[in-house]
Structure 1
């Protein structure tokens, strides 16, 4: 089943460029386009896409505010911020508002495909720099450890630490000499046991509990 994608960008040529990239792959289906955050919210409610590709700087309502509202209303919808700059400031803000990933507009089209496929399968590692800034923002001081992660098995704890360090599922499988399927299974258990939703929250948790430096 193809992955339904909503494109949100105020520039027509940018939307056309993204569409041209993704239409080369049968894995993706473009279900709609929006030129600002308000339209994105309305189309999300109407179309319920799997993934939204969200520009940051837009008129009427920018991508940050739209992301915040969409994630509050439709938490299952995944949002990837798209930007021309690798400056982490806006991307960091976007992740704080609920986005789960980001793409640079100028990277090769094959990288778009690989990233979005992995993103749809919850396999995209987090940028170490962005993860670190999130941890610094939310955790200026480490509190004392709690016993919550005692619910995890020794292997699950290893997987948690590697995820928090920014490793992908494939890298974790090679490091621990286990299959990617087993990594996914451990990751699912970790999220369930700790009542977390994504890799960003795992990194945040690991830092707060003193499980990583």
Structure 2
């Protein structure tokens, strides 16, 4: 690979040492700066025309994902390669939308780190397998949660009858279902709507425009 300038921003000395080893493995001749604080990073960036910024957004003094985004916006000439110590999609989403960016974890293989450095040279997005798997798992969990909270047409119908003051047995007669089935519906509806009583349920259903009276 051609040799870029590289900044490594992290306070964890073992991580920094490992990254320096891999950076020198990747590039025959490279100038590397290491920093441990946002102030030091800003100072180095003033004389940093272009290159790669390997940064732990959770491991630099006075820096977090939000403030890192500000630093990147002020220095569009650098390619950010995030070294994340934890995978928080909400924190990382604004950074991912920033543009060309790489994301690796401290548990990534040497092969993936070298691949991330290769992507950085070509200004391409790169996400390591562990981050991708975590994002997919989080999205699947969110989808499952949303599915659990979504009321079916049958359940909304049951809420309408509850709002009319009908008992479990009377609702069962209207829908041609057993009282046991209606009882199960009522229990699930209360859980999905996060309420404890039929009165709270009806009030919330009206407020969220699930039913009208």
Q: Which range is displaced more, 44-53 or 56-65?
A: 56-65
Structure 1 position 73, deviation (Å): 2.0
Note the aligned Cα RMSD (angstroms): 3.0
Structure 1 position 34, deviation (Å): 0.5
Structure 1 position 28, deviation (Å): 6.5
Please say if residues 22 and 110 of structure 2, whose CA atoms lie closer than 8 Å, have aligned partners that are also in contact. yes
* Residue of structure 2 equivalent to 1:181: none
* Structure 1 segment 42-191 matched on structure 2, within 5 A: 42-58=43-59, 60-95=61-96, 100-124=101-125, 129=135
Q: In the alignment, is residue 11 of structure 1 matched against residue 12 of structure 2?
A: yes
Structure 1 position 9, deviation (Å): 0.3
Please say if residues 49 and 77 of structure 1, whose CA atoms lie closer than 8 Å, have aligned partners that are also in contact. yes
Provide TM-score, normalisation by structure 1: 0.52
Q: Which runs of 5+ in 2 are unaligned?
A: 140-213
Larger radius of gyration between Structure 1 and Structure 2: 2
Q: Which runs of 5+ in 1 are unaligned?
A: 134-213
SS of equivalent residue, structure 1 residue 46: coil
Please say if residues 67 and 79 of structure 1, whose CA atoms lie closer than 8 Å, have aligned partners that are also in contact. no
CA distance in 1, matches of 2:108, 2:90: 19
Q: In the alignment, is residue 35 of structure 1 matched against residue 36 of structure 2?
A: yes
Structure 1 position 66, deviation (Å): 4.5
Structure 1 position 113, deviation (Å): 0.8
CA distance in 1, matches of 2:60, 2:30: 26
Provide the aligned length of Structure 1 versus Structure 2. Answer: 132
CA distance in 2, matches of 1:58, 1:72: 20
Provide TM-score, normalisation by structure 2: 0.52
Structure 1 position 124, deviation (Å): 3.1
CA distance in 1, matches of 2:77, 2:11: 24
